[in-house]
């Protein structure tokens, strides 16, 4: 087992990397009582691991529909239950599931009696490489995602590759977009390494995956350690995301996988970087080929240039113009404030025409 410890704000966050779920329960510290907030699918697919937790002094709250239940009503239901069971500051919350469950569990932990210990067990690739790092917790409100929330670090995160075996291919790729993104914004060598390891990655070889997840976590951890509240460098993590939010917005009636929208968003950001003269033709070609080498299924994604552009215009992160993260080179991101709406709109129209050919 490998460990990584990084400092975030005043906290020290420990991350343990494991191949087998059986190793986790022995490592969870013996707090007085644990309140486990758990994804139903994980309960069904990894029941022996959950049985081991049951042997510890744990109470359980099972989430059947993670994104739907990621709201303040679920938090209140959990908080009421914890109160009735007499949970106090010497106890802990454990979140087990994808990012929706771990965001919700982290928010409960941060608000219960002004904060009790939180242990995070992310079970989707997206939650392991992205949602588990950086201390963002929260729930949706009305139809606005993550509108209510806090910055609150877990005491420890347990990353276990065995959980990833039960993800279907597209859910796996959903999280893999963040691994690709972390490489694109920090290192050409790491991106080339993903190309070399493409077969092992798609076959989910545990030792390869754990190494890549660790690298990805290290990249995000370094960025959020420097800029916890997203005032500077952390904005680079939005690479591809401004376009992706536009794509998600035009698909809001039949929601699509976030990572798939991000993958298209990153292809757009690469093209736009080349168009602005910042990214060389060679690097652009290499990066696009690598992204396109993974078997993303985009068939259910609707691309409507006008809708994407309008949604991007209303992004809360904009300043005078629309803010985009572009690349000077693979591994060298910068913030570009697009002064001309016309340019951007024409670019989106052209990108979609070429993409759909």
Which residues lie near ligand NAD (CB under 6 A)?
39, 41-42, 45, 66-67, 70, 97-101, 103, 123-124, 126-127, 130-131, 134, 136, 145-146, 163, 166-167, 171, 174
Least distance from ligand NAD to the Cβ atom of residue 105, Å: 11
What residue ranges in the chain does DSSP mark as E strands?
2-8, 11-18, 34-39, 58-63, 92-97, 117-122, 136-141, 144-151, 156-160, 322-329, 332-338
| Separation of alpha carbons 262 and 59, rounded Å | 36
Question: How many CB atoms are closer than 10 A to CB 22?
Answer: 13
Residue 68: partners with Cβ closer than 8 Å, 6 or more residues away: none
Q: Please pick, among 9, 67, 171, 230, the residue that the annotation labels catalytic.
A: 230
Which residues have C-beta within 8 Å of that of residue 221, sequence separation ≥ 6?
A: 4, 6, 8, 13, 133, 134
Which positions ≥6 away from 46 have C-beta within 8 Å? 21, 123, 162, 163, 166
Active site residue 220: yes
46 is catalytic: no
Q: What is the distance, to the nearest Å, from the Cα of residue 228 to the centroid of all Cα atoms in its chain? A: 16
> 141 catalytic, yes or no?
no
20 annotated active-site: no
Q: Is 89 an annotated catalytic residue?
A: no
Catalytic residue, candidates 70, 220, 260, 274? 220
Cβ 102 to ligand NAD shortest distance, Å? 7
Residue 80 is among the residues annotated as catalytic for this protein: no
Q: How many CB atoms lie within 10 A of CB 329?
A: 12
Q: How far is the CB of 280 from ligand NAD (least distance, A)?
A: 30
Q: Least CB distance from residue 324 to ligand NAD, whole Å?
A: 19
**Active-site choice (258, 260, 274, 284):** 258
Q: Which is nearer to ligand NAD, 174 or 186 (CB)?
A: 174
- 39 within 8 A of 63, measured Cβ to Cβ: yes
Token pair of 193, please? 């390494």
State the residue number with the nearest CB to ligand NAD: 99
Q: 337's torsion region: left (phi>0), alpha (psi -120 to 50) or beta?
A: beta
114 included as an active-site residue: yes
Q: Report the 3 state secondary structure along 108-158.
A: HHHHHHHCCEEEEEECCHHHHHHHCCCCEEEEEECCEEEEEEEECCCCEEE
178 is an active site residue? yes
Shortest Cβ 8–ligand NAD spacing (Å):
12
- Active-site residue, selected from the candidate residues 34, 140, 174, 238: 238
C-beta of 138 vs 333, nearer to ligand NAD: 138
Catalytic entry in 30, 73, 114, 357: 114
CB of 10 to ligand NAD, least distance (A): 19
Question: Which residue lies nearer to ligand NAD by CB, 67 or 304?
Answer: 67
DSSP 71: B
For CA atoms 179, 180, 183, 185, give the dihedral sign. negative
CA–CA dist 226, 258 (Å, integer): 26
The catalytic residue among 70, 136, 181, 182 is: 136
Between residues 215 and 271, which has the closer beta carbon with respect to ligand NAD?
Answer: 215
Catalytic: 52?
no
- Please, which residue, 38 or 279, has the CB nearer to ligand NAD? 38
For the question of residue 356 being annotated catalytic, the response is: no
Q: Judged by CB, which is closer to ligand NAD: 49, or 351? A: 49
CB of 225 to ligand NAD, least distance (A): 14
Please state whether 280 falls in left (phi above 0), alpha (psi between -120 and 50) or beta: beta
- What is the rounded CA–CA span in Å between residue 250 and residue 303? 7
Give the active site residue among 46, 162, 174, 178. Answer: 178
- Nearer to ligand NAD by Cβ, of 98 and 333: the residue is 98
Q: Give the residue numbers annotated as catalytic, written as ranges.
A: 114, 136, 178, 220, 230, 234, 238, 241, 245, 258
């Amino acid at each position: 087992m490998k460990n990584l410890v990084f400092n975030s704000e005043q906290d020290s966050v420990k991350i343990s990397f494991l191949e087998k779920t059986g190793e986790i329960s022995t490592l969870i510290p013996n707090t007085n009582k644990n309140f486990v907030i758990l994804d139903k699918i994980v309960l069904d697919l990894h029941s022996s691991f959950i049985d081991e937790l049951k042997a510890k002094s744990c109470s359980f709250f099972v989430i059947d529909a993670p994104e739907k239940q990621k709201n303040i009503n679920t938090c209140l239901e959990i908080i009421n239950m914890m109160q009735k069971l007499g949970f106090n500051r010497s106890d802990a919350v454990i979140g087990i599931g994808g990012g929706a469950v771990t965001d919700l569990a982290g928010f409960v932990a941060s608000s219960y009696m002004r904060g009790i210990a939180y242990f995070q067990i992310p079970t989707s690739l997206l939650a392991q490489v992205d949602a588990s790092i950086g201390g963002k917790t929260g729930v949706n409100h009305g139809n606005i995602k993550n509108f209510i929330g806090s910055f609150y670090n877990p005491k420890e995160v347990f990353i276990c590759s065995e959980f990833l075996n039960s993800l279907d291919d597209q859910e796996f790729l959903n999280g893999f977009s963040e691994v690709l993104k972390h490489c694109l914004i920090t290192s050409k060598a790491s991106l080339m390494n993903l190309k070399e390891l493409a077969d092992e990655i798609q076959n989910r070889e545990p030792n390869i995956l754990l190494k890549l997840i660790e690298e990805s976590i290290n990249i995000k951890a370094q960025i959020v350690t420097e800029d916890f509240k997203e005032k500077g460098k952390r904005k680079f993590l939005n690479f591809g995301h401004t376009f992706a939010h536009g794509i998600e917005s035009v698909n809001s009636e039949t929601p699509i996988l976030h990572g798939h929208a991000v993958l298209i968003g990153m292809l757009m950001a690469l093209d736009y970087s080349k168009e602005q003269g910042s990214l060389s033709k060679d690097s652009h070609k290499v990066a696009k080929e690598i992204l396109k080498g993974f078997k993303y299924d985009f068939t259910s994604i609707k691309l409507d240039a006008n809708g994407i552009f309008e949604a991007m215009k209303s992004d809360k992160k904009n300043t005078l113009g629309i803010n985009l993260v572009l690349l000077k080179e693979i591994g060298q991101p910068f913030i570009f404030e697009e002064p001309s709406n016309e340019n951007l709109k024409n670019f989106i129209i052209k990108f979609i025409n070429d993409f759909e050919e």
